[in-house]
Structure 1
Amino acid sequence: MSGVGWVGDERVRPRATAVACSGPAPLGTGPADLVFVAERPGTGLGAGLAGLSGPDPGDGLCAAMNGAVPHAKIRAAGHPTPLWSVPAGDGRSAYVGAAKGVWLYAVLWPAAAGYLLADQVFLHDLAESMPSELVFGAPSPHLCPTA
C-alpha cells in the first residue's frame, strides 16, 4: 500500500476514499501504480484521477456499457463487481463500476497496468473491519495534493 486518502471535512463523513498500491507492472515494463476510489456520486475524485471531465464517469461509461460485457470483474466487500474501461487521460487506464451505491474507480499508471485487473482482485471494506497488519511502501505520487 502506498497511500490512503479521503475527500470531506470534519462536518460530514468522507464523500470519497482512495487507496493507492504500487508494484511491478504486469508486462515487466517497470513499476505500476493503482488507485482504487470509492465515492458518492458528484464528488469528482475518481474522475479527476482518471483524467475525465466532470465529477462522474458520464458519457464515457454509458458508451462503454452499451451492450458490452464488463472489461474487468473484481470482488468488492464480498460481492462480484463489474468494471468497464473508460477513456482516460494520458499515460493511464481507468475502469469504473458501482458498488454499494457508490462509484468505484480503478485508475492505473502506466496504461498497460490495466492488465492487473485480469487477476482476481478482492477489495475489503475497511469500515467493516481492519486487517491486523497493513504494509505501507513509498508514498504514491498520485495522491499528493497539488498547489
Structure 2
Amino acid sequence: MRGEPSCPKCGGRVRAPGLFADTWQCAAHGAVHPVQPVVPPSVGALAVVVERTRVPVWMPWPLPVGWLFSGVACAGDDRSGGRATAVACTGPGPLGGPGELVLVAEEPGVGLGAHYAGIPGPDPGPRLRTGRPPEAKVLAAGRPTPLWHVADAPADRAVFAGEAMGLWLWAVVWPELCGPLLYEDMVLTDLRDAGSEIELVPCGALSPRLMAPDG
C-alpha cells in the first residue's frame, strides 16, 4: 500500500477520478474509497489521519506494557474524508514472542477490515458468531463493546469484529495465540478525542502487516 493509493478490498491499484468517473475505481471492485500511502509511524502522521477522518481512530490507551504504535492507514480522499482507519500496534504477546494488533474502524462496505482479516468482504456479516456470547469485550470510547470471532480467517491470525459508534470495529491480531489480548477488557480511545495526549504515543517501526496484511 505504500507509494500510491490502493484498493481497500484487495490492495490493488486504483484509478483516480477523471472524465468518465467521479470516484476512485478499482478494476476488480469498481468505486472504492482509496487507501492512502502508508508512511512510517510518527505522531505527525497520526495527527494528519486524526484531523481528516470521519470515523474513529482506535488505539489501546494506555498501550499494554512494552507495546508501541507501529503505523496508521486511512481509506478516503480529501473530498470524502477518511471512511476507514487502521491503527497498528506491536509488542510482546501475552504468551511470549512478538505480537501485532491492527484495529480498524470503518463505514459499512469499505472493506479495509476484511482485507486485513484475510477474508472475503466487505463486511463481517454472517461470519460473526453472534449466536453465542461474545468472545471478547473492549471499552471503546467509554462504552462496553462486544466483539465476536470472525469465522474462516487464516490460521495465522485471530479476528474479532463488532460495532462501535454505529460503525464496524475490527481487531486483527498476529499470531493467533495473541488472541487473549482481547480477553482482558482492553480500553480503546478514539484519538480524535485525545487532544494533546496524542503527543505521548510511543512510536516503533512500521508494521509489515499494514503493507501486506495477507502475508
| TM-score, with length taken from structure 2 | 0.63
Say how many residue pairs are matched: 142
Structure scoring higher RCO (CA < 8 A, sep ≥ 6) equals 1
Question: What's the offset of the Cα at 1:83?
Answer: 0.1
Can you list the C-alpha shifts for 1:40-61, whole angstroms capped at 9, x where unaligned? 0000000110011120002111
- How large is the Cα RMSD of the aligned pairs? 1.3
Unaligned runs of 5+ in 2: 1-68
Q: Percent identity?
A: 51
- Mapped pair 1:91 → 2:156: yes
Can you list the C-alpha shifts for 1:84-131, whole angstroms capped at 9, x where unaligned? 011212300100000111100000000111111122311111122332
Task: Tell me the residue number matched to 1:15.
Answer: 83
Please give the secondary structure, in 1, of the residue aligned with 2:109: coil
Unaligned runs of 5+ in 1: none
- Counterparts in 2 of 1:130-145, with a 5 A limit? 130=195, 131=197, 132-144=199-211
Task: Tell me the residue number matched to 1:3.
Answer: 71
Please give the secondary structure, in 1, of the residue aligned with 2:192: coil
- Mapped pair 1:54 → 2:105: no
Report which stretch shifted further, 75-84 or 118-127.
118-127
CA distance in 2, matches of 1:93, 1:109: 7
Please give the secondary structure, in 2, of the residue aligned with 1:117: helix
Note if contact 2:127-2:150 (Cα within 8 Å) is conserved in structure 1: yes
- Mapped pair 1:32 → 2:99: yes
| TM-score, with length taken from structure 1 | 0.92
Report which stretch shifted further, 34-43 or 119-128.
119-128
Task: Tell me the residue number matched to 1:102.
Answer: 167
Q: Aligned letter for 1:33?
A: E
Question: What's the offset of the Cα at 1:10?
Answer: 1.0
